[in-house]
A and B are shown apart, each in its own frame.
Chain A
C-alpha cells in the first residue's frame, strides 16, 4: 500500500468559503480510502468487484475515476455510501470520511450522512428521479430529512436551489414532474437535490453520459461553479478522459476492480505510465491530433471478475506484457528501474502505477 501525497497546487482556490484554517485537522484528508474491497456473492461464485483500492481526496478538490464498464467505479461509490445490500455483499477495508469510518458504520449513522454530508448524483436523471413526485417535493424532501425546516421553508429552499442551478422560473418549475423537464434540466435538478444540504462530498457517477455534448459542458461548468461556492469535494466517475482533463485535480484509473494508475491529472494524462492508460488515451479522438491517425481501441474486453486473470489483470490485453505480468500482480508504485527489481526511480511528480514494466520500456513505448 502506498500513501499518496496530494499536490499542493490549487489548494487556495480549493479551500472552503469560510477558510481552510477552520478545518479541525488539515493533515487528514476529507476522504481516506485504504485497501477497499467489495465482493458480491453470486450463484456462480464470488465477484471481486473492487479488490484493494486506495485513494484520498482533499476538501474542495476533484478526483476523476476512470475506467471501462465493470471496472468497479460505481461499486466503489455505492460502497462509500453504504448502499450495497449487506445480505449479498461483503465490504472490507477502510474509508474514513472526515474522521468517521464509513465501512462498518451502523446504517442509522450512514443514513444521517447520506444527502447531508455525502451526496450522489447518477448517470440518467430520468430514471434516478422519482416519476411520482414533483421536482420541488424531491428537493424539499432531502432538506427536511436533514434539517428541522418546516414544509414552507423546505419549499423556499428548493426554489432557491433550483434557481441556483440555473433553472429559469424556479418558483413555478418546482411544481413540475421530472418528465416535464429536459435531460439537462433534470440533471440540474438532480444536482440541486444533491447539494441542498451543502455536503462536503459529492459523488457524481457519470453525470453527463446520458446528456448531449453541449449540455455536458454546461453541467460540468455548473458543477465547477458550485464547487467553488460551496467548497464541495467531488468524485467524478466517468469514462470520458476529456471530461477528466477539464475538471479533475487527480485521476484514478481503474481496471478490473483495482487502481492501475493514480496521480495528478497533468501527470496521468501527460505522462501516462500504465499500458491501459496509454490505451485509453490513444482510443480517444483528439481535436489537436492528425485527422488521418486511426483511433487505436484497447483490444479485447474487460475480464470476468468471477475469475480474473492471474498476475496483472490487464496482461491478456496488454501489448507489452512480459512473463512476470502473467504470474505476479503488480502493486501501485513508482516505476522500477528494471522488471521486478523493486528499486523505484525518482519520477517527476507523484504518480503511481501498477505495472511491472521498467522505465526504459515505458519511455520506449510512449515515445
Chain B
C-alpha cells in the first residue's frame, strides 16, 4: 500500500512537471512579446520596460525556463519585488506574487467544492441506489425523469432564477456571498447555501444516473446472487455487498469532478460572485495577466492530479484486487 502511494505520488510529480513546462512554453516561448501579455490592460511604457527587465526576456528561452523552474524551489526577485519560494511568478497587475493571490482565493473555491460535494454525493448516490432497487417501478421512473431535467439545466440559468425566487422574492435563503469559515461559520454556510444547492442540483442528477446504472449492474453480479442464497437480508445484500461493486465508477467520475471543482467552478463562482479560483481565472484573462493565468492553470492541474492520486488510493481501499497489481 505504501509502495503503491509512493509510486502514484511520483507519477503525480512528473505530471505536474510536464504541465509546468508545457504552460511555460505556451505562454513565454510561443508569444511574440510575453512582456506585453504580462503587463495587463492598463499598461504604461514604464511598467512594460520594468517587466521586460524583471522577466529576463533578453535572455535565451532555456535560461528563462531555468529561472522560472528554480523560482519554484528557491524563490526569485523581480527587480525590487521579492517572490518567495515556491514562486509561481509575479502578477504585475495585482502587484503581488501569483501564489499569494491563489492562496487567498483558494479557500472560497474549496468551500464551494466541499459543501456542494457533500450535498450532491449524498443525494445522488442515495437516490441512485433507491432507484436501482426499485428498477422499473414508478419511483425509478420518476427519479430518472427528474434527474434528466436536473442534468439538463445550466448553472447560470438555474442560479439566476433560484436567486430571484428564493433570495429576492421569497427570502427563504440568505444572499449568496463568501464569508471565510473561520470568521463567521453560520455566515459561511448561509452565504454558500444557494451556490451549493445550485451546483448540487446539476451534479446530483449526474450521480443519480451513474449510481443507478452501476448499482443495477452490481445487483446482477454472481456474488450478489450468492449472498442472497446465503440468506442475507436485503439491507445486508445492498449495504454490505452490492455497493462495493457499484462505487468504483462513481468514485472515478467524482475524482475528475473534484479536480475540476478545485481548479475553480468558473460559472458558479461568476454567477454568485464568489471570489474563488474560477472567478480569478476569468478576471486574469480579462486583464491579460499572464503570470496569473499560468498560476490558475497550474493550480487547476495540481488539483486534478491530487484528486486522482486520492481516488487511486481509494480504489485500493475498496478493491483488494487493486492492491496487488
- Using a CB–CB cutoff of 8 Å, the interface residues on chain A facing chain B are 81, 83, 87, 111-116, 119-120, 122, 124, 127-133, 141-142, 145-146, 177, 179, 193
Asked if A115 and B230 make an inter-chain contact with CB atoms under 8 angstroms apart, the answer reads yes
For window 90-123 of B, CB contacts with A under 8 Å fall at none
A63 to chain B, nearest CB (A): 18
Q: Considering only CB atoms, which chain B residue lies closest to A130 in the complex?
A: B223
For window 184-229 of B, CB contacts with A under 8 Å fall at 221-223, 225-229
Partner pick for A112 among B221, B223, B231, B244, CB 8 A cutoff? B231
Which residues of B are found within 8 Å of A130, using beta-carbon distances? 223, 226-227, 241, 244
B280 to chain A, nearest CB (A): 42
Asked if A132 and B225 make an inter-chain contact with CB atoms under 8 angstroms apart, the answer reads no
B319 at the interface (CB under 8 A from A): yes
Asked if A179 and B226 make an inter-chain contact with CB atoms under 8 angstroms apart, the answer reads no
- Using a CB–CB cutoff of 8 Å, the interface residues on chain B facing chain A are 136-137, 221-223, 225-233, 236, 241, 244-245, 318-321, 324
Give A142 to B240 CA distance when docked, in angstroms.
Answer: 13
Q: Which 3 A-B pairs have the closest CB atoms?
A: A115-B231, A114-B231, A115-B230
Give A83 to B234 CA distance when docked, in angstroms.
Answer: 12
Contact of A131 with B320 at beta-carbon distance under 8 Å, contacts A111-B233, A115-B231, A145-B232 already known: yes
Partner pick for A141 among B136, B230, B324, CB 8 A cutoff? B230
A106 to chain B, nearest CB (A): 13
Asked if A127 and B221 make an inter-chain contact with CB atoms under 8 angstroms apart, the answer reads yes
Contact of A131 with B231 at beta-carbon distance under 8 Å, contacts A87-B136, A122-B225, A124-B222 already known: no
Give A129 to B324 CA distance when docked, in angstroms.
Answer: 18
Asked if A145 and B221 make an inter-chain contact with CB atoms under 8 angstroms apart, the answer reads no
Q: Considering only CB atoms, which chain A residue lies closest to B227 in the complex?
A: A130
Which residues of A are found within 8 Å of B228, using beta-carbon distances? 83, 114
Q: Considering only CB atoms, which chain A residue lies closest to B230 in the complex?
A: A115
Which residues of A are found within 8 Å of B225, using beta-carbon distances? 83, 122, 128
A209 to chain B, nearest CB (A): 13
Partner pick for A132 among B226, B236, B320, CB 8 A cutoff? B320
A115 to chain B, nearest CB (A): 4
Extra contacts besides A81-B229, A114-B228 (4): CB < 8 Å: A83-B228, A114-B231, A128-B226, A129-B226
Q: Considering only CB atoms, which chain A residue lies closest to B225 in the complex?
A: A83
Give A356 to B223 CA distance when docked, in angstroms.
Answer: 43
B236 to chain A, nearest CB (A): 8
B248 to chain A, nearest CB (A): 10
Which residues of B are found within 8 Å of A119, using beta-carbon distances? 229-230
Asked if B222 and A179 make an inter-chain contact with CB atoms under 8 angstroms apart, the answer reads no
Asked if A132 and B230 make an inter-chain contact with CB atoms under 8 angstroms apart, the answer reads no
Which residues of B are found within 8 Å of A179, using beta-carbon distances? 320-321, 324
Asked if B229 and A129 make an inter-chain contact with CB atoms under 8 angstroms apart, the answer reads no
